[in-house]
Structures are given as C-alpha cells and as structure tokens.
Structure 1
Amino acid sequence: MKTRTKKWASAILSISLAAVVLLAGCSKNNETSPPGSSGTNANGGDKFDSLPKDLSISAFDRGAVSSDEGTYEENRWVKWMQEQSGINLSVVPVPRNQAQDKLNVLIASNQAPDLIWEYDRNYIGNLVSQGVIQPIDDYIDQYSTTYKQYLQENPDLKPYITFDGKIYAMTTRRTISTVANHGLLIRQDWLDKLGLKTPITVDEFVAVAKAFKEQDPDGDGKANTVPIVGYTTRDIYSAMFGTDVVDWYLEDGKMKYGPTLDRYGDALALEKQVYEMGLADKENFTDTDNSRAKQLWTTGKAGICLCQWGNGTMTSMNRDLLTNNPDAKPVAFEPVTTKYGKYGTYQETPAYIYVTFNKNMKNPKAAIEYLDWMMDKGWFSLTYGQEGVHYKLVNGIPQKLDADKVKKEVGYANEYAVLRPQEEKPEDLLIKAAQDPLSQQIAKLEVDSLQVVMKNKFRRDIPYQPNITEINELKASFQKTVDEIRAKTVTQSGYSAEEGLADIRKEWNRLGGEKAEQLAQEWYDGNKASFK
C-alpha cells in the first residue's frame, strides 16, 4: 500500500515527455515492435521468440532494504524472481516521494524501464497522452492466460485501465486494507489523563489539540508536546471538507476542480489556524521523508497523527511507539464534522497498481509471461515470504512467525508484487500478524482502525478523472502553484485563506482553467451514463 499523499508530475512533465516522444519518433530500432502490434512475423512464427527474455521494471525505493539484505536492485528477492520466472529481470528503483519526477527524467533521457508502474491513474493518463506507453490489448489476447482470465472475471476494472478505447495497463483489485488509506489516530491515554472526549466536530478537534499543547499530557513537566503531526495532513484536511487538491467534483451539476472550491478555502483556513496556534509541527512543510513525523510520534511527543489507518509505515510507527512507551494507547477516530457535513478520509478506487508497457519495450511477450507468473505464483511469496521461515498457514491464511524478521527480510519485497489477486477480510489481520503480544496489540488496533476508516466514504463524485491532454498539462503545472500558495497561506502571517483561495482561482483562470472546465464538462456529459 502506498502512503497515499497523491503525487503529481511537475511542470517538467510536458516538456520532458514531449522531448522523449520526439526522440523516440526519430530513432530506428529494428528490435522494437510497433506499439500494440502482434508478434507474428512474415513466416508465420513469433518474432519475439528469438529475442532474449530481458525485462526491466520500476520499483518504489522507500529506504526499506537493510545493508545486509542488499539494495533494491540486488537482493534475495530479485534473484528469486529471476530464477522462478525465467525472466532476466532488472529493477530500476525511484524514490517514493519523487517517483513521478524521477520517472519523467528517465523517460526524457530514454532510460525508462520496460514496465513503468504507479498507483496514480492520472499519471498513467499523462503517459498515454504523451505517447510514452503503448496499448496492450493485443498482447493480453495473444500471450496471456492468467491475467486475461482475471480481467474477464473482474470486468469492472477494465474502465480504469482503458484510455481512448484501448487498454494501456494491467491492474488487480485492491483489498479492503488497500482501499482504506488515510486515517486519524489519537492518544486515548492523553484524552483520559486530561478528562477529554474524542473530538467529533472541527471546533472540538482544535480544542483537544490546544489542550494537548498546554496541559502537559505526557507528564514530563515540560511544554514540549506537538499536538498534531502527520505526513498526509493536506489531504486529510481537504477530505474532511469534502474536496481534494487534484480531483474534479460536481458542484451544482458543474465540473469544478477541487482546489478552486470554497471547500478548499475552508480547509486552508483550518490548517492555518492550527499552524498559527502552534498545534502543528512547524517542520511539516520540509518533512519530505516523514522522518520528523515518525520521530515525534514514536517518541511519544505527539497526540494526534494525520497519517494512515494502519499497515506499512503506520504499523512500524506504532510498533516503535509501543516499544518505547508500553502504556501508550493510540486509537483510531473518525474525521470530524465541518459545516459541509461529515466525509471520510481518502479511499482508493478499486484498481490497485497500474503496470504499463514502455513504447520502446523490445519483448512484450516476455513481459506478459512475467506478469502472468506474478499473478500465478510470484505475488504470494513476495508478500508473505517463505513458508516455515516467515509464515505458517493457519486456515489457509499466512501467519507471521517473527514480525521483525518479516519486516527486515520480506517487507521491501512488496514493492515487486505489482499484480496480486489477493482477497482479504478485516479479521484476517489478526491471523496474519505474529502471535506475540505486541504484534497482536498492533493488529487489533489496525482492525479497529480499518473499520473506523471505512465507516465514512471519501467524497468521489466521478469514478475516475478525465484523461484530456489540455487538462493533464494544466494540472501538472497548476499543482506546483497550489502547493506554493498553500504553504504561503498556512505559514505567512497577514495572508489569509481567503486571499490564498483568490490567488489560486486567479492562477487557474490565467492558465486556462475556464477552458479546462468546459472540456471536463463535455467529458462528463459524454461519459456519465456509463458511471455506476
């Protein structure tokens, strides 16, 4: 599961990708097949059979590979994938927090891997528009068995991987724990000590944070607590007001872009209020790798975490917190009510990872063979490790034998399991977790957190975003402006949220926002009949 602060390609996207398209158009490589073409040659044989089974794939570098395990490029699991799949696989890691920017640079320099993947459908749409990736309908039909059957059995996933009438990606269905994403945690022991109740309104949220700052909830006699930390703060504040900074919404039947709405102005106002009252970490805007949020939470200096429901990073953070302070009682709580009502924190669409084929890929048949193997066998071991070493089966569910060993030796391997036909129930988390008391305590917290997160639906007015070149280009350049104005609004005294929203709208219109809204409306009117 990705830590879901949604990333957008920077303004370099249009320039760099246009450049690579131009370069690709000028190059002549007899070994590269035309995008989306079949593998039949003039003699009736398969032209890909004579090519080496060489394949490269991107992977998110989250800094999770220990030195004695190797690197993201070379480790036990890369070697295992090569041996088990029969594919000469190479891994191209990109930093998670700058993944799209790094991929753009690789694409522009003609060094991008054969398989490029992301969680973000909008980014995939950009690659389609720029001609960087190729349609794969013919490859699936001609070479796939496992994935072709999976797609037939899950037809509702097809619209998410279809652009301009062609399939451009392979994906699998998310489990409930990967649909759930962002969430909120609060220190129940701090609430109890100060005689406070869990906040249910935005005013109560601010009041509780203020008490956490002023009333020494950690009992060390020092004014050193930071009430609110997190690495998804922007998205959570926006979601509580029923908007987002990168999505389109229907307001009175009209397509409008999230950060131009009054709702986003109100989210900015709350974030600014919290910041000016000293209730949020002042280093939040520079904490690009989340290290500051982790430090404050795990050392017991923070009372509210705007993070994730559990799993992955949050699992590790809670393990460290409870190891350092066994008396801590982190619990999940629901998003608070605003004047617009009550909305859930960010939840993903059904499609999981989008795996795409570089247009310059030499052997798409080998790629299909590899991804079919991943669907058949590879994903399970990459997710859970080796039976008898990392897990044992309990009622068919893999149960961790040693949480620390699994974290070190298997945790990073999840990055390679790009397609996984996994099924899951919330209660499975208790079985999957190691059986030591701490692991079970964290698993119980995560079951509770998952149930809390899924109680309230994230506002999503349309199932997926329009893929229109003019809109994609505008959003790519506009996102930087939104981020800059948000930072200025929150941190600069004398500059109000109202002024920030006005400047966002001014820049939106200057860049062609009205035309984008017209195109989005036409797209919606033409597609709404197919939305469920």
Structure 2
Amino acid sequence: MAKKQLVFALLAAGALASFMLAGCGSGNETGGAEGSGEGGANQASAPVTINMTLPGTGLPTPDNDDIKKALDEKLGTDIQLTAIQSGDDYNNQLRVRMSAGNYPDLFTTSYTYLKEFAEKGLILDLTPYLEKELKPAKDFITNLSSEDIWKKVTVNGKIYAIPRVPDVPFSSFWIRQDWLDNLKLNPPTTLDELFEVAKAFTEQDPDGNKKNDTYGITGQKFDAFSPVFGAYGVGQPGTFYEKDGNVINAYYDPNMPEALAFIKKLIDAGVVDPELMTNKGTVDQQKAFQGKAGIIFKGWIEISKDEFVNQYKTINPKAEWVHIDAPKGPAGQFNGSFDFDMPSRYYAIPKAMEKDKAKLQKIFDLINYVSGEEGNDLVMYGIEGKHYNVVDGKVEPTELMAVEGNYFHLYQITGRPNKEYLEVKFPNQAEDIEFAIRIPRIKTLDSSIVPPTGFNKADADRYAEEELVKFVYGKRPLSEYGDFLKTLETTFKYNLYVDEAMKQIKEQGLANNG
C-alpha cells in the first residue's frame, strides 16, 4: 500500500482545494447539487442521471451492482452504465449515436474516433477544466503515469479525453525449468544460449518419454520472438520508437534484417513449432502445457495464474514453468516493445454537456471521486467487509471478490495503481507481476497515430507480415529486404503513413523530432 498512500498523500491538499473551488464554481446553476469530489452531493436533491457507455461484459443488473449503489449514494447520482461487446459493434453503435446526436454523457472511444469527434466539434474540450474542476483526477493520472499521457489525448493542441492510467506489461519468455534440470542446462541469457537451449529441447528428449515430439519454441506469429527483436534493438514490426535520437519505424531499422536472420536460424534448425504462424487463441498455450514445447512468450496471466498452474500440473505434476530475462544480443537486452504512455481507455464527454452545468459537475464529481483514495478503493476492490478486508494496513480479498468482482474495472474511469491492484487480486503471482513490470522494453509511440487518408493500414500490415514470413522461412532471400520496402512504399503507400506518423509524433511532443 506504500506507493498508493504516497500518491494519495501528494494529491490530498490539491484535491481538497479543487473540490471546494468546483463546488463554488457550480453555484446555483447546479440545481442544488453544490459540492463535488469525495461525496459533496446534496442528498436532498433528486439524483442526477449519468449515462455511461463503454465496451465490456459481465455487468450485473442495477439491483445487484454494489459499485453503482455505493457511487450513487455517495454522489447523488443515478449511474446508468451500458457495457457493449468490444470491437466493431461498440464502435459502430457509438458512431451512429454520435451522428444522431444521441450522446452518452460519458463514454470511451479510440484515439482515431476521438480525433474525428473532436474535429467535428462533438466532444468537450477538457483543457479549461483540468487545473480546477478536474485537478484531482489530473493529478491522480499523472502521478501514476507521466505528463506524456496527456499528449496521447490531445487533438490540435487541446485535450479531449480523460486518459485511464496505462496498463502495465505482462509478457516475457517462459521456460520449462524441469526440462532444463533434466538436461543439466542453465536458463539462456544470450541469443546464442537461447538457440542452444531451444535445440536441446528439440533434440535431446527433455521430457524423457523416448519420443521425438518436442520443440524448443512455440507461440503466435512474430510476437513469439519479441525478445529476439529486442536483442537487436528493434521494436515489433511496424512500430515507431526513438533510436539514436531519431524516431524510426521498425521496418526501416537497419537491424531488422539481422533480427529476421536470427529467427530464420531458429526455424531452419527445426527448433520452432512448425504451426507457430497459424496458432490462434490458446492453441500455443495448450501446446506448452501439453509438453510439446519448452519456451513461450506469454503474459504471466496466461501461465502462472493458479488455474493455469493447475492445468499443466494435472497433465504433468513435475512440470515447472518459470519466467526468464530477455536474452542479450548485439543491441542489448529488451523484452520486446511496449507503449508505456498509451491510455488504457479514452473517456470523452459530449460538447452538448456544457449547456447542462449541473450534470457536467456531477460527471466531474464522479471522475474525481474514483480518483480519490476512498472511491478508488471502491472501484478496485468493492465493498469493505464484503469483498475485502483490511488487515494490518493490507487489503485482503474475500472469496466473494473473485465471484463478484470481475466487472469492477468498468467503473475504474481514471485507472488504478496497477502493481498494487494486481498483487491484491493475484497474491500468488506477485513475483511474476513485479518481474514483468521491471524488465526493460523499447518504448513505442504508436497509440495516437492516425493513418492518413488514402492509406490502407490493414492491407499494408497484411502484406508486410506475409513477406516477413517468407523471409524467415526461406521463401524469399533476405537480400531482397530493400525490394520489400520499395513495394511497401510504392504499392501500399507506406511512406505516406510513415511521414504522417512522424509529423503527428512531433506535433504531439512525444519525441524531439519526427
């Protein structure tokens, strides 16, 4: 709890002042709902309805929604949350509603749609409110991420969304420790050692079943080789990042062909699952659990959670999966790439809401409250004494949290202190959580790039992936990598995308030059 207590201690003084200012600012225009922040609602007033819309599933009925009840009682609201299956359904429904003027009061969107809605004048510019009405939320978000997160919700110099605190990385290489022990090998620490261990796992019968039925590495497409790219200082294919003081796209990184050559070396040696490029869903995970491969790049949430440990232990009680550091290579040791400043959600308010100052103030109250200690605990852990208890200053979940708490995240508008939250929810994985957060990764800059008109990113990405597969499987010589880039530019207009991305990254202040 130490880090979280420090965050809230830093926020406390400013929050109190901001709440008072916000309450005074609303005056008589709020219809008696003066006060804000941590429950300053006038309980004698009629509840103010707030319609929230976001992607999600598993929301209980209002009568069984403890979080809604607690928030409504505290803030004098009637929160009506609509959770829609994420993906195209959500985006299409949202776009239809926005076009028809049937706006939710508070909703999430992607950066692409945020930019579109902002340029059409459909959503509220939040810039004037951040240092007063929304200062508690702003400070909470900034203290748990960085100032750069606000650049990710900026359009033409103005802030149009409340960014939810970024997620933390989960993934790393996992390896069968019992296989290493059986073959008297150490965990690999370099690319050469990775190759040798993968080869041994393929050729030396690590499970002792006298059958030639194992591979070194499984996974899904090029994600399986994230630490390999990292060892060459290369981000995931297609990503943008800073290198030697300049922003670069991974396809144009001079080390990309070298990274592909090492992946080809692994494939040529027969140490990679031959179905790696077509594995989908949980297929690679199940192959790993069934003892068909001994190395996989996955999130701890897919390997070390109790339910998954039970799965692979049921198949083989001696199986032991452990995380390992990324292998060192010519450019260092990076566990792939990650956009550390990418908001995990973008919350927007329709511009029309500025005409209803009472409701707008209540929306601000809600956002600020879930950013304060009391409200943040509520939306993270539920009801104290029911979903969790505090013992010696430490949050301890009850069995009911696991049963009823799967939807709480839908109310975490500004986010949470991720490490603390995850360690409470998954106490047996605390070491894996810490490991995944601290290992170095290449910082990417992609999440607020909007492709230019006339560029079809899906087609370009599809072509690029197909050609990279050809390179690593020997269907096309790496000597033709330059020709691949030329086709990417001439046929798919990738240079237009790169130029526009560089421009946007520079305008947003995410790098010194773009």
Distance (whole Å) between structure 2 residues aligned to residue 123 and residue 215 of structure 1: 53
1:422 aligns with 2:411: no
Match of 1:368 among 357, 364, 367: 364
Structure 2 vs 1, CA of residues 423 and 54 (structure 1 numbering), >3 Å: closer, same or farther?
closer
Q: Between the two proteins, what is the percent identity of the paired residues?
A: 20
Supply the AA of the counterpart residue of 2:441: F
Match of 2:442 among 448, 451, 459: 459
Match of 1:503 among 459, 484, 490: 484
Distance (whole Å) between structure 1 residues aligned to residue 491 and residue 426 of structure 2: 52
Match in the other structure for 1:397? 394
Residue pairs, 1:107-122, within 5 angstroms:
107-110=94-97, 115-117=106-108
Structure 2 vs 1, CA of residues 81 and 466 (structure 1 numbering), >3 Å: closer, same or farther?
closer
Match of 2:214 among 211, 219, 225: 225
C-alpha displacement of 1:169: 2.0
Match in the other structure for 1:29? none
**Superposed CA offset, 1:279-330 (max 9, x none):** 3334444444x3112312333443112012x247752534533455443332
| Secondary structure class of the residue paired with 2:465 | helix
Match of 1:478 among 438, 454, 460: 460
Distance (whole Å) between structure 1 residues aligned to residue 459 and residue 190 of structure 2: 35
Distance (whole Å) between structure 1 residues aligned to residue 267 and residue 32 of structure 2: 58
**Superposed CA offset, 1:89-128 (max 9, x none):** 2333335xxx3x444433444489665547x867866775
Structure 2 vs 1, CA of residues 85 and 135 (structure 1 numbering), >3 Å: closer, same or farther?
same
Distance (whole Å) between structure 1 residues aligned to residue 106 and residue 349 of structure 2: 6
C-alpha displacement of 1:507: 1.3
Residue pairs, 1:33-52, within 5 angstroms:
45=29
Structure 2 vs 1, CA of residues 384 and 524 (structure 1 numbering), >3 Å: closer, same or farther?
closer
Question: Would you say the 8 A contact 1:240–1:343 is kept in 2?
Answer: yes
Match in the other structure for 1:281? 273
Match in the other structure for 1:81? 67
C-alpha displacement of 1:260: 3.0
| Secondary structure class of the residue paired with 1:343 | coil
TM-score by length of 2: 0.71
Distance (whole Å) between structure 2 residues aligned to residue 348 and residue 517 of structure 1: 18
TM-score by length of 1: 0.69
Structure 2 vs 1, CA of residues 523 and 161 (structure 1 numbering), >3 Å: closer, same or farther?
closer
Gaps of 5+ in 2: 1-26, 34-45, 73-77, 354-358
Distance (whole Å) between structure 2 residues aligned to residue 163 and residue 276 of structure 1: 47
Structure 2 vs 1, CA of residues 164 and 507 (structure 1 numbering), >3 Å: closer, same or farther?
same
Match in the other structure for 1:194? 183
Gaps of 5+ in 1: 1-42, 62-71
Question: Would you say the 8 A contact 1:185–1:306 is kept in 2?
Answer: yes
1:94 aligns with 2:78: no
Supply the AA of the counterpart residue of 2:65: K
Report which stretch shifted further, 465-474 or 258-267.
Answer: 465-474
Supply the AA of the counterpart residue of 1:185: W
Structure 2 vs 1, CA of residues 486 and 400 (structure 1 numbering), >3 Å: closer, same or farther?
farther
Match in the other structure for 2:11? none
Supply the AA of the counterpart residue of 2:476: Y
Residue pairs, 1:87-166, within 5 angstroms:
87-95=78-86, 99=87, 101-110=88-97, 115-117=106-108, 134-138=124-128, 144=134, 146-148=136-138, 150=140, 156=147, 157-166=149-158
Distance (whole Å) between structure 1 residues aligned to residue 449 and residue 350 of structure 2: 19
| Secondary structure class of the residue paired with 2:66 | helix
Match in the other structure for 2:41? none
Structure 2 vs 1, CA of residues 129 and 344 (structure 1 numbering), >3 Å: closer, same or farther?
farther
C-alpha displacement of 1:190: 0.7
Supply the AA of the counterpart residue of 1:458: R
Residue pairs, 1:218-367, within 5 angstroms:
218-231=207-220, 232-233=223-224, 235-242=226-233, 243-250=235-242, 254-288=246-280, 290-308=281-299, 310-311=300-301, 314-315=304-305, 316-322=307-313, 324-350=315-341, 352-357=343-348, 359=350, 365=361, 367=363
C-alpha displacement of 1:207: 2.1
C-alpha displacement of 1:170: 1.5
Residue pairs, 1:171-210, within 5 angstroms:
171-173=163-165, 178-210=167-199
Supply the AA of the counterpart residue of 1:420: G
**Superposed CA offset, 1:457-515 (max 9, x none):** 3223x76777466399565653333334344545x652345546642442134444445
Structure 2 vs 1, CA of residues 141 and 256 (structure 1 numbering), >3 Å: closer, same or farther?
closer
Question: Would you say the 8 A contact 1:228–1:304 is kept in 2?
Answer: yes
Match in the other structure for 1:58? 54
Match in the other structure for 2:17? none
